[in-house]
């Protein structure tokens, strides 16, 4: 863009207009189809564009149009297998509406998260906030900026902001019901990040299962397979017969550890995941889990954001249902 040594000078709309013998305005019209232009001029412009290799500067366009042509997505962890599908869907929707996608990662850090959102607001028409860890007040303050924003995987009661999420509560309830019907009476939940709303929803449903006679036990754990691996040790001294987890990674970590310890699943312990990251791509996975329609989620989120940008959007939070997949890691409790 700038003329650094050794780099050829940037070609502007003026270069094209000169080469084509027309005004810059005409070049703009031709390129954007903004108005009718004599076909002979159209050709001359296209020729000049091609010959010069002209590419309109996106920053200049953005400035002049008052739109960046970009949406921003902030995720807590890019390496989390949950997000690629979401990003893919969002990207596709964005592109269908002529927008680019900026991606940032907060590394699960609420403080960083705040700064990144602010940064996104400086360069994007709208922001899609995935699973924000941010405290409610901070979120409210960000929303007060009146910058188009959609919340993904978190619903904040009292804040009116377009939100789309998954019915985690329902998902966890299905898991508990499944285990209870198998005969389990004591279960442990390996809890995810405490700041996570999604985690809180799971816990809420988990504790609700007490009503069905399930003795529940929440254990601080984390969000990765390592956390699951590490958390298993303490469990084996307890009376639980079923292990529920914050997500599939944790479950897989736990399974891995159980396997090492020679504990058989599901004979001695049932293990149930959450999210279903393992199935679709890794076909022979066999973890019992509940799934969320990730691409639909991403698609809908993208569409809501787009609608918000164009018409405004005002609807209640959307909850997509989860589906239970009973596979090989759950069974009747040991006697």
Partner DNA sequence: CTGTTAGCGCATTCAC
Partner DNA sequence: GTGAATGCGCTAACAG
Q: Determine, following the binding rule CB under 7 A, whether residue 52 of this chain makes contact with DNA.
A: no
CB of 46 to DNA, least distance (A): 13
CB of 134 to DNA, least distance (A): 24
Q: Given the complex with a copy of itself, which of 80 and 173 has the nearer CB atom?
A: 80
Q: Determine, following the binding rule CB under 8 A, whether residue 87 of this chain makes contact with a copy of itself.
A: yes
Q: Determine, following the binding rule CB under 8 A, whether residue 262 of this chain makes contact with a copy of itself.
A: no
- Tell me, residue by residue from 194 to 213, as one string, x for binding to DNA by CB under 7 A and - for no binding: --------------------
Site size toward DNA (CB under 7 A) is 33
**Distance separating alpha carbons of residues 73 and 19, to the nearest angstrom:** 40
**Distance separating alpha carbons of residues 107 and 113, to the nearest angstrom:** 8
State which of residues 5, 6, 66, 312 lies at the interface with DNA (CB under 7 A).
66
State which of residues 61, 70, 226, 256 lies at the interface with DNA (CB under 7 A).
61
State which of residues 18, 46, 52, 57 lies at the interface with DNA (CB under 7 A).
57
CB of 60 to DNA, least distance (A): 3
Q: Given the complex with a copy of itself, which of 209 and 227 has the nearer CB atom?
A: 227
**Distance separating alpha carbons of residues 33 and 271, to the nearest angstrom:** 59
CB of 58 to a copy of itself, least distance (A): 4
Contact of residue 25 among DNA, a copy of itself, none (CB under 5-8 Å per partner type): DNA
Residues contributing to the site for a copy of itself (CB under 8 A): 1-2, 6-8, 53, 55-60, 62-63, 65-68, 70, 77-81, 83-85, 87-88, 91-92, 95, 100-105, 118-119, 121-123, 125, 145-146, 225, 229, 249, 252-253, 255-256, 259, 278, 281-285, 312
Residues contributing to the site for DNA (CB under 7 A): 1, 10, 12-14, 21-29, 31-32, 34-38, 40-41, 54-57, 60-61, 63-66
């Amino acid at each position: 863009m700038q003329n650094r040594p050794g780099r050829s000078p940037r070609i502007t709309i003026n270069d094209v207009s000169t080469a084509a013998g027309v005004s810059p305005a005409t070049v703009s019209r031709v390129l954007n189809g903004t108005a009718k232009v004599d076909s002979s001029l159209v050709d001359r412009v296209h020729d000049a564009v091609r010959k010069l290799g002209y590419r309109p500067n996106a920053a200049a366009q953005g400035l002049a149009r008052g739109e960046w042509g970009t949406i921003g997505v902030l995720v807590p962890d890019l390496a989390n297998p949950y997000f690629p599908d979401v990003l893919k869907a969002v990207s596709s929707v964005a592109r269908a509406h002529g927008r680019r996608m900026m991606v940032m990662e907060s590394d699960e850090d609420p403080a960083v998260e705040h700064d990144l959102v602010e940064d996104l607001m400086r360069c994007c028409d709208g922001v899609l906030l995935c699973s924000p860890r941010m405290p409610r007040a901070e979120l409210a303050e960000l929303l007060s900026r009146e910058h188009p924003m959609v919340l993904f995987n978190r619903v904040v009661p009292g804040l009116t902001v377009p939100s789309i999420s998954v019915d985690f509560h329902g998902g966890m309830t299905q898991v508990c019901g499944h285990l209870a019907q198998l005969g389990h009476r004591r279960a442990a939940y390996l809890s995810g990040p405490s700041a996570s709303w999604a985690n809180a929803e799971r816990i809420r449903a988990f504790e609700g299962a007490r009503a069905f006679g399930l003795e529940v036990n929440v254990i601080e754990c984390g969000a990765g397979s390592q956390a699951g691996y590490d958390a298993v040790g303490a469990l084996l001294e307890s009376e639980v017969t079923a292990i529920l987890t914050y997500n599939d990674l944790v479950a897989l970590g736990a399974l891995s550890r159980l396997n090492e310890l020679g504990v058989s699943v599901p004979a001695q312990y049932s293990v149930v995941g959450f999210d279903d990251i393992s199935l679709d791509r890794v076909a022979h996975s066999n973890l019992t889990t509940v799934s969320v329609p990730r691409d639909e989620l991403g698609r809908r989120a993208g569409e809501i954001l787009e609608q918000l940008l164009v018409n405004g959007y005002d609807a209640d939070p959307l909850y997509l249902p989860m589906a239970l997949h009973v596979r090989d890691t759950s069974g009747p409790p040991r006697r």
